[in-house]
């Protein structure tokens, strides 16, 4: 007989993880809103600004798989908290930097800390909710991505315009430190740590994993479906991270907005994503019976079409509407793709498998930020950037057709 974790326990963990990982995004995309201020103060180009974000993604990539592996081995609570401390350190160093070298080192440190967040956070969620509610739970949790990034962009833009760009890295870091303390005190890795039974809805799949003679890392790295999901995720995140980093600069330069106003508009554009993730997760659980593929296809298709449209010079009202659609679609597929590791390899290997996927997504982040900056410098326009987003999203849509969900649904 399937059991349910009491509402107060499971949803407390969901809220704490949501709040904590939202702070991760606030200390990651605080950079994007102040790019124009950094360029003016330090005399760097768009390519160099994109390079700073690429430095972030170098360590973010390298530490993804080790962080996921450690979250499975010693628990996500420890890894999430330690990652936050490292990220806080990187933000504070960045706030005091004046030379490109110091800023680059700070970004490397921040990327290392941020790498410990996503896999560990998803591991927390899937450990506290049954398989039948997995998409919905991850969807609710993932609203922190839009919430954290949009609030982070808005807050850093406001602070940067009124108190200088350095404050945009100090204030979010201090906020993250306070949330980390609360999370460490109240959160626990598994239901059994609060005297509750673990789930048995993946017993057959977990038994198959336990009986496999290969190492658990080898089980993850040789899974063909996971590789296909990783390629789709690469394409999706190329567009997601590129949009999150460059939309504020696009609004400022294409429509002559102040940094404060551009960050405000970005906040409202990204806000609809708060609704996209739980709706997408709920529909995949209930309407599609645990299938993620149909909604991923829809999301990638709409994302491709909307970014293609933004490659044209548009009236600000129409551009804002299309950007709001982009704000919806840069989150919904993320939730569904993030559910695949535990769907394919159970809770037991969910963090390691998510770390494998996140290696691809962060590699995409290394590429997208400097490439987009270079495109802007060459063409002196953001139209070519959005056109490239449309092409990459279309490639991701084509690759999605190759994902075979049948084995995962059958627990094999």
Q: How confident is the model at residue 213 (pLDDT cuts 50, 70, 90)?
A: low
Q: How confident is the model at residue 399 (pLDDT cuts 50, 70, 90)?
A: very high
Residue 409 has pLDDT above 70, yes or no: no
Which of 195-209, 327-341, 379-393 is least confident? 195-209
Q: Which fold has domain 12-187+215-409?
A: Growth Hormone; Chain: A; (1.20.1250)
Q: Do the beta carbons of residue 277 and residue 334 sit within 8 Å?
A: yes
Crossing angle between the packed helical segments 143-163 and 7-26, to the nearest 10 degrees:
40
Question: What does the pLDDT read at residue 146?
Answer: 75
Q: Name every residue whose Cβ is closer than 8 Å to that of residue 143 and which is 6 or more positions away in sequence.
A: 18, 273, 274, 277, 278
Domain residue limits, the chain: 12-187+215-409
Residue 411 has pLDDT above 50, yes or no: no
**What is the mean pLDDT of the segment spanning 102-128?**
92
Helix, strand, coil % in the chain, rounded to nearest 5? 80, 0, 20
Q: How confident is the model at residue 17 (pLDDT cuts 50, 70, 90)?
A: very high
- Model confidence pLDDT, tens digit, residues 42-67: 888 877 887 888 888 889 889 999 99
Q: Name every residue whose Cβ is closer than 8 Å to that of residue 363 and which is 6 or more positions away in sequence.
A: 57, 61, 234
303-325 b/e (C-beta count within 10 Å ≥ 16 → b): bbebbbbbbeebeeeebeebbbb
Tell me the C-alpha distance between 164 and 157, whole Å.
9
Question: What does the pLDDT read at residue 89?
Answer: 96
Q: Do the beta carbons of residue 189 and residue 124 sit within 8 Å?
A: yes
More confident residue, 195 or 110: 110
According to DSSP, residue 199 is labeled P
Question: What does the pLDDT read at residue 7?
Answer: 52
Q: Do the beta carbons of residue 275 and residue 330 sit within 8 Å?
A: no
More confident residue, 130 or 103: 103
Q: How confident is the model at residue 171 (pLDDT cuts 50, 70, 90)?
A: very high
Question: What does the pLDDT read at residue 201?
Answer: 62
Q: Name every residue whose Cβ is closer than 8 Å to that of residue 367 and which is 6 or more positions away in sequence.
A: 54, 238
Tell me the C-alpha distance between 99 and 103, whole Å.
6
The model's pTM: 0.76
Question: What does the pLDDT read at residue 203?
Answer: 65
- Model confidence pLDDT, tens digit, residues 234-261: 999 999 888 877 888 888 888 888 878 8
């Amino acid at each position: 007989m399937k059991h349910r974790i009491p509402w107060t326990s499971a949803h407390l963990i969901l809220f704490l993880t949501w709040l904590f990982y939202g702070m991760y995004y606030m200390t990651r995309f605080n950079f994007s809103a102040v790019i124009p201020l950094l360029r003016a103060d330090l005399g760097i180009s768009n390519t160099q600004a994109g390079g700073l974000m690429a430095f972030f993604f170098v360590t973010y990539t390298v530490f993804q798989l080790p962080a996921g592996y450690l979250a499975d081995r010693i628990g996500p609570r420890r890894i999430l908290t330690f990652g936050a401390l490292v990220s806080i350190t990187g933000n504070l160093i960045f706030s005091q930097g004046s030379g490109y070298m110091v800023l680059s080192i700070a970004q490397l440190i921040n990327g290392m800390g941020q790498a410990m967040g996503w896999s560990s956070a998803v591991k927390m969620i899937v450990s506290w909710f049954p398989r039948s509610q997995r998409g919905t739970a991850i969807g609710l949790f993932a609203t922190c991505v839009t919430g954290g990034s949009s609030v982070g962009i808005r807050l850093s833009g406001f602070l940067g315009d009124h108190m200088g760009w350095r404050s945009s890295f100090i204030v979010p870091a201090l906020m993250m430190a306070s949330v980390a303390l609360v999370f460490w005190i109240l959160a626990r890795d598994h239901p059994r740590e609060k005297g509750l039974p673990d789930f048995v809805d993946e017993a057959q799949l977990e038994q198959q994993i336990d009986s496999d003679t290969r190492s658990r890392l080898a089980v993850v790295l040789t899974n063909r479906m996971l590789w296909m999901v990783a390629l789709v995720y690469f394409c999706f995140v190329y567009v997601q991270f590129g949009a999150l980093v460059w939309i504020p600069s696009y609004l400022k330069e294409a429509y002559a907005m102040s940094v404060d106003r551009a960050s405000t508009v970005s906040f409202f554009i990204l806000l609809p994503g708060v609704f996209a993730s739980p709706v997408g997760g709920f529909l995949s659980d209930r309407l599609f019976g645990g299938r993620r593929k149909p909604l991923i296809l829809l999301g990638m298709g709409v994302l491709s079409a909307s970014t293609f449209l933004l490659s044209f010079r548009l009236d600000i009202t129409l551009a804002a509407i299309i950007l709001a659609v982009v704000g919806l679609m840069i989150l919904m597929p993320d939730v569904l793709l993030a559910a695949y590791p535990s769907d394919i390899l159970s809770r037991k290997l969910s963090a390691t498998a998510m770390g494998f996927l996140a290696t691809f997504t962060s590699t995409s982040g290394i590429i997208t930020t400097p490439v987009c900056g270079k495109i802007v410098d060459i063409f002196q326009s953001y139209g070519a950037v959005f056109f490239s987003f449309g092409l990459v999203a279309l490639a991701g849509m084509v690759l999605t057709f190759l994902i075979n969900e049948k084995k995962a649904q059958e627990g094999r």
